Homo-oligomer: A and B are copies of this chain.
């Protein structure tokens, strides 16, 4: 397998995918065209506009981008593609579209067979076992929360540490993930912005500029350094 799962597409004050350009170039080395999956629609933007944003970035790497919505038959589009990028947005919307159109399994098979995959945020969530640790609002009802399981854990992208100054009683991210662990025995990788997961062959590591917080049932959460194997 050859996959890169980023916490976010854009760092605060940075440009789209900028901080991770070198890693993306390496991921898609030798490939001149990829399929972009725009279904997560951040802020509700159209598939066309979202695909154009992705294409703008990939132009700088001399890689052509086609949106999956442009194809009459998205299943054969996935089967014929050389590589994939799924952008962030709303995970419920993304997972609903993938399941309803029979694409989750097709995408998984292609990636498992070695085609490179880039995910950011919601696009990273779907590489986990299921979407039960997304931060997104359940704006639509997907037929299942199951995802591709390209890695044997769940992700929490945009992982955010508790803010001690916040005078607010909504749950912290850590509280939410601990609630998940009362109902599920699945490792959760709290991926801070600026970090990503890289899987090459059977080896999965966490990379980037921050430590990564790991949550497991029956253990205190703990931190691992960039480069650590997952």
**Does A158 make an interface contact (CB < 8 A)?**
yes
Residue among B42, B138, B158 making CB contact with A138, cutoff 8 Å: B138
- Tell me which of B93, B160, B168, B179 contacts A137 (CB under 8 A): B179
A12 engages B169 (CB within 8 Å): yes
List residues of A whose CB falls within 8 A of some B CB.
Answer: 8-13, 41-44, 89-90, 92-93, 131-141, 144-145, 158, 160, 167-171, 175-184, 193
| Nearest CB of chain B from residue A184's CB, rounded to whole Å | 7
**In this complex, what residue of B is CB-closest to A11?**
B169
How many Å from the CB of A188 to the closest CB on chain B? 10
A53 to B158 Cα, complex, angstroms: 33
State in angstroms the CA–CA spacing of A177 and B9 once bound together.
21
* Whole-angstrom CA separation of A158 from B167 in the bound complex: 11
16 other A-B residue contacts (CB within 8 Å) besides A44-B183, A133-B137, A139-B184: A8-B169, A9-B169, A10-B169, A43-B175, A93-B183, A132-B137, A132-B141, A136-B171, A137-B176, A137-B179, A137-B180, A138-B145, A139-B183, A141-B144, A160-B168, A160-B170
